[in-house]
Amino acid sequence: MDITSELIGRARELKPIFAARAAATETNRAPLDETIADITDAGFLQILTPKRYGGHELHIDTLVAVSRIISSACGSTGWVSAFFIGHNWFHSVFSQKSQDEVFAENPYQRSSAQIAPTARATEVTGGYEVSGQQSWSSGATHATYVFFTAVYAAADAEPELLLLCIPRSEVELIDNWYIAGMRGTGSCDVKVENVFVPDHHMLPFKDFLDGTHFGSSLYDSPVFQMPAAAIVFFEGMSVVSGILRGMVENFQEITEQRINTYTGSGVAAKPSAQMRLARGRATADAIDDMVDSIVARTIHKSGNGGLNLQDRADISMRTALVNQLCCDAVNDLMHGAGGSSFMNDVALQRFFRDSNVLRTHAAMDFEASSEMYGRVLLGMDPGTPVL
């Protein structure tokens, strides 16, 4: 059995365990320590780490397959798992000196990130001094490193964006993660004040986005030739599609067991329940096919000339489309699941809340992505620096 099949098999074995912990994960407002231990021991975190450092050096298809399975058990656990896997790719496209340092003891780190440029960097001898606060830093509660995106303005030059890798020990966590859905992601604010970041832990944000980062010259593997969009958007796609899959599975189980209060007959005999289940299952299958097709095309292009701006815009648009379709399908199922499905101990209401919160995620917003993609198709500037 190859390593990809082994990892997928481990994800399937852990799925019922993560599902059983989903309510406790929400209450904890972050993944449980034992869950972090499980995803670490399973070898998921080094899926995209170079073999040079003991990683699996696989591609985004394995990231998507593993994260989708975990997300079908618990959206929050899937989200943090996808981020931790993907963010080891972030480390792998920094300078070799940075990689030598962060992978010195393990072939992985648990790193949180938020790419909105909400910090400021000032150049000092040997590096940068960074201050700022960023929100939505998913996985921060268990992070070993935190990525900050900062605005840097040199004298007489246009401001530029920098991606900075900072040890968690130098970052303040602000305990403000109280939200309707995705409650177990630990996505609290993180803050730094005049923290020194050495040159080797800095990557120009433009290089990160367009694929001209250090990884493209350090490694031959196509996965390290890719722009960041090919990682970041597939993290999101795997989670929203996994949540829909979990919703369908749980809806079917409830429907098979549910009894109509007034008639005493099984709800499974109702055409409306049958049709909702059919729509949900068909949509989940179609979306998985769609995502797998996008993954395959992206992998092919990453090894054959790379991904240009229109390719990156296309991935962004498809992520937003997948997100909307998944949320619509989740809502359709929830509206036919009965009032008892809104009880706190029922998984359906958790998938419902998670899906609707993710529908508003800035990186997967349907309206903004539509405008951006339309501009690119018409030969215009995309209107966003984050692509």
CATH of domain 3-109: 1.10.540.10
Q: Which pair of structure tokens corresponds to residue 325?
A: 């379709």
Read off the pLDDT band of 264 (50, 70, 90).
low
Looking at the DSSP bridge assignments, the partners of residue 172 are: 191
The pLDDT value recorded for residue 107 is 98
**Distance of alpha carbon 82 from alpha carbon 293, whole angstroms:** 19
Can you give the three-state secondary structure of the chain, one letter per residue? CCHHHHHHHHHHHHHHHHHHCHHHHHHHCCCCHHHHHHHHHCCCCCCCCCHHHCCCCCCHHHHHHHHHHHHCCCHHHHHHHHHHHHHHHHHHCCCHHHHHHHCCCCCCCCEEECCCCCEEEEEECCEEEEEEEECCCCCHHHCCEEEEEEEECCCCCCCEEEEEEEEHHHCEEECCCCCCCCHHHCCCEEEEEEEEEEHHHEEEHHHHHHCCCCHHHHCCCHHHHCCCHHHHHHHHHHHHHHHHHHHHHHHHHHHHHCECCCCCCEHHHCHHHHHHHHHHHHHHHHHHHHHHHHHHHHHHHHCCCCCCHHHHHHHHHHHHHHHHHHHHHHHHHHCCCCHHHHCCCCHHHHHHHHHHHHCCCHHHCHHHHHHHHHHHHCCCCCCCCCC
Domain residue spans of the chain: 3-109, 111-205, 229-377
Query: 219-242 burial by CB neighbour count: b if 16+ within 10 A, else e?
Result: bebbbbbbbbbbbbbbbbbbbbbb
Domain at 111-205, CATH from 2.40.110.10, 3.50.50.60, 2.40.50.140, 1.10.8.100: 2.40.110.10
Q: Give the confidence band of 261 by pLDDT, cuts at 50, 70, 90.
A: low
Q: Higher model confidence: residue 386 or residue 85?
A: 85
Q: Radius of gyration over alpha carbons of the chain, in Å?
A: 21
Dump pLDDT digits (tens) for 268-326.
Answer: 889 999 999 999 999 999 999 999 999 999 999 988 888 999 999 999 999 999 999 99
Instruction: State the first-to-last Cα distance of the chain, in angstroms, to the nearest integer.
Output: 37
What tokens does 87 get? 């963010």
Do the domains spanning 3-109 and 111-205 agree at the CATH topology level? Answer: no
113-142 per-position pLDDT tens digit: 988 899 999 999 999 999 999 999 999 999
Average pLDDT of the chain to the nearest whole number: 96
Predicted local distance difference test score (pLDDT) of residue 37: 98
State in words which class domain 229-377 has.
mainly alpha
Q: Please state the separation of Cα 285 from the chain's center in Å.
A: 20
Cα gap 57→47, rounded to integer Å: 6
Give the range among 175-179, 243-247, 322-326, 380-384 with minimum mean pLDDT: 380-384
Q: How far is CA 126 from the centre of its chain?
A: 32
| pLDDT confidence band for 384 (50 / 70 / 90) | confident
